[in-house]
A and B are shown apart, each in its own frame.
Chain A
Amino acid sequence: MTQATADVTLAEESAPRAAGRRNRGFLLRRIGFYLIAAWSAITLNFLIPRAMPGSPADSVIATLQQKGGALTADTVASIQKIFGQPRTNIFHQYWNYLGQLAHFNLGLSTSSYPTPVRSLIGQALPWTLLLVGITTILAFCIGTSIGIICGWRSGSRLDSTLSPLSTFLAAVPYFWVALFALWLFGFQLGWFPLAGGYDPNSAFGSSPRFWISTLQYGLLPALTIVFSSCGGWLLGMRNMTITTTSEDYVLLARAKGLSPRRVIFRYAARNAILPQFTSFALALGSILGGALLTETVFTYPGVGHLLYQAVSNRDYPLMQGILLMTTLAVLVANFIADSVYVLLDPRTREQGE
């Protein structure tokens, strides 16, 4: 239902010009959009602590003083640049804040003082990028492929079991699936470790034993994320395939006597898959949110668990830093999905309603 209308936004933006030029124009416009989006994310990150009740800057300074004793004037100034400076006008504050960001200075974590937020995120980010990246691509591929089959043979036994099942799966909270999996496979059956991202007894990062243990520890979180997120892709692809299958060009392809495989993949699926990329932007946010919660359940050493710790310790610098980094990462992922869309559909979908 949303897919069909979702690509209208993209559709309208293209005008009837030469194909190559249009392609480039489309990409340039998207790049422009994402640059402005990145700027908005940075600005939002600036505004949120200032719009909150109380003074986050004061509370950060107070927490740090409790932890580490006296603060240098420099540290205090840099905290205020991020969280709000008293008696400075808002534009000047904004300018200072941008200056801090330009030096990648996200401040010091209050919960693990005096580690810089930057290095905490740096340690956690690879874990999340790998976990969420791999599982999202896997779930997309699995869900879409099964969706093609279900849509092509709608009403078959496969379709009439899988479609209601994925409606259910799409509605289950990820972290609950994670808890359930942890209880069943980790606790009851003992197949998987209960917490962590690697074997704590192995040498970090160097030994082959470490790398094997990351697979062993990461498998269950990865499986739960794939399991909970592929239902949405399946349903979307199924409905689009059914709609595409009744198009005239599919009928023509069949009438020509092309092999079913060719008709499915080159005619029906190739067109049906386009809205899947458009709905990427809508889906990624919820998948990311789910993945962050899943990490918390498994005590996985990624950004999600870090964010959990930050929130429960009221570590404002860490919260802000993570928010900024995840937003930017999501923007990059969406930009990639958009570019794939342009590659798949050279017309950049010109249909307008």
Chain B
Amino acid sequence: MRAAVLGSWKVRIGLGIIGLFTLAAIFGPWFNSVVIGYNAKALNYFAIGQSPNSHHLLGTTSTGQDVLAQLIAGSRNSLLVGALAAVVGTALAILFGVTAGFFGKGVDTVLNFITNLFIIMPVFPLTLVVAGYLQGTGPVTIALVIGVFGWAGGARTLRAQTMSLRNRDFTMAMRMIGESRIRLIFVEVFPQLSGWVSAMFLHGVIGGVLAEAGLAFLGISNPDTVSWGTMIQNAQQQNAILNGQWWWFIPPGLCIAAIGTATGLINFGIDEIASPRLRSVRRAVVKRTRRRTEETSGGLPQPEEAAV
């Protein structure tokens, strides 16, 4: 399974992108001071609003901060919020989903009800209002708020998976032998869910990054922290659009999109391995199949054959 996952080019590209950003998050400040030579927060009134040039590869903001340095420094806060929100969200999803799915009956009814409630609540306004009361707080609080309100979708998936695992033969057999419930959950059921949990974690990371960007864009987060969201918010506040300073707000959005695409690719790859029907055929194979069918039967190409 693991080899199959790494064998998919989609998964490899996705992991590569995420790895790159993780490196930027860890070594960003060091990289900024040594290689780029600008501090992300340092103002420079002699280089205001410059478009990309040889000194500032991605230009400068309207207070002369280097956009590239900000972008690299921002990856730390954005990913930190994303990862922390994902940890909280995934933990809650496991707690609710696995417990509900494993114990069934009354426990399930109650937990599933709570899960469904959180699913239909509009999470963003809720997060925004709670964060609105706690304005100016650091990334950790924001991550906690995002995680606490964003676990429900994952819990539903885990619940369904656990329910089907609970009734499989191997779990039944272990139950007959008399294994304790706790051991059943952690030793028999949980390892089977690891694929789902990791997919969910990745999903949580991008959800957290997006939510942080949205909240920062609305001016919720501490103005001193540099994140991709605060970069876009600063650009918006200082009329980057009306000044035509595209280099200020486009790169952070692209970074968010890159991380999102990476998660999407990984999930896509895992999906295709889990259910091979979804595996889309390469263009070349489709063409070859069509040519063959035309040669042999002269009949119409059947998309079905290509898909299987």
List the interface of chain A (C-beta within 8 A of B).
Answer: 1-2, 5-6, 8-9, 33, 36-37, 40-41, 44, 48-49, 52-53, 56, 152-157, 159-160, 163-164, 167-168, 170-173, 175-177, 179-180, 182-183, 186-188, 194, 239, 242-243, 245-246, 254, 281-282, 284-286, 288-290, 292-293, 296-297, 307-308, 310-312, 314, 316, 319-320, 322-323, 326-327, 330-331, 334, 353
Q: How far is the CB of B282 from chain A (nearest CB, A)?
A: 7
Selected interface stretch from B34-42, B80-88, B249-257? B249-257
Cβ of B281 and Cβ of A5 under 8 Å apart?
Answer: no
Q: How far is the CA of A177 from the CA of B282 in the complex (A)?
A: 30
> With an 8 A cutoff between CB atoms, is B76 at the interface?
no
> With an 8 A cutoff between CB atoms, is B63 at the interface?
no
> With an 8 A cutoff between CB atoms, is B303 at the interface?
yes
Cβ of B280 and Cβ of A160 under 8 Å apart?
Answer: yes
Closest to A174 in B: B214
Cβ of B285 and Cβ of A314 under 8 Å apart?
Answer: no
Which residues from A are CB-within-8-Å of B153? 2, 282
> With an 8 A cutoff between CB atoms, is B170 at the interface?
no
Q: Mark B121-149, 1 if CB is under 8 A from A, else 0.
A: 11111101110111100000000000000
Please provide the 6 A-B residue pairs with the shortest distance between their CB atoms, ordered closest to farther: A171-B260, A289-B124, A176-B253, A155-B281, A167-B264, A5-B160
User: Interface size (B, Cβ < 8 Å)?
Assistant: 75
Cβ of B271 and Cβ of A187 under 8 Å apart?
Answer: no
Q: List 13 A-B contacts (CB under 8 A).
A: A5-B156, A6-B157, A153-B303, A164-B265, A168-B257, A243-B275, A285-B121, A288-B125, A290-B124, A314-B132, A316-B133, A327-B122, A327-B125
Cβ of A2 and Cβ of B122 under 8 Å apart?
Answer: no
Q: Which of A159, A170, A289, A312 contacts B219 (CB 8 A)?
A: A312
Cβ of A170 and Cβ of B124 under 8 Å apart?
Answer: no
List the interface of chain B (C-beta within 8 A of A).
Answer: 112-113, 116-117, 119-126, 128-130, 132-135, 153, 156-157, 159-161, 163-164, 199, 206, 210-211, 213-214, 217-220, 232, 235-236, 241-242, 244, 246, 249-250, 252-253, 256-257, 259-261, 263-265, 267-268, 270-271, 274-275, 277-278, 280-283, 285-286, 303-304, 306-308
A interface: dominant SS? helix
Q: How far is the CB of B176 from chain A (nearest CB, A)?
A: 22
Q: How far is the CB of B145 from chain A (nearest CB, A)?
A: 11
Which residues from B are CB-within-8-Å of A176? 213, 232, 249, 252-253, 256-257
Cβ of B122 and Cβ of A245 under 8 Å apart?
Answer: no
Closest to A323 in B: B129
Q: Known interface pairs A152-B303, A154-B281, A353-B160. Does A171 touch B257 (Cβ–Cβ under 8 Å)?
A: yes
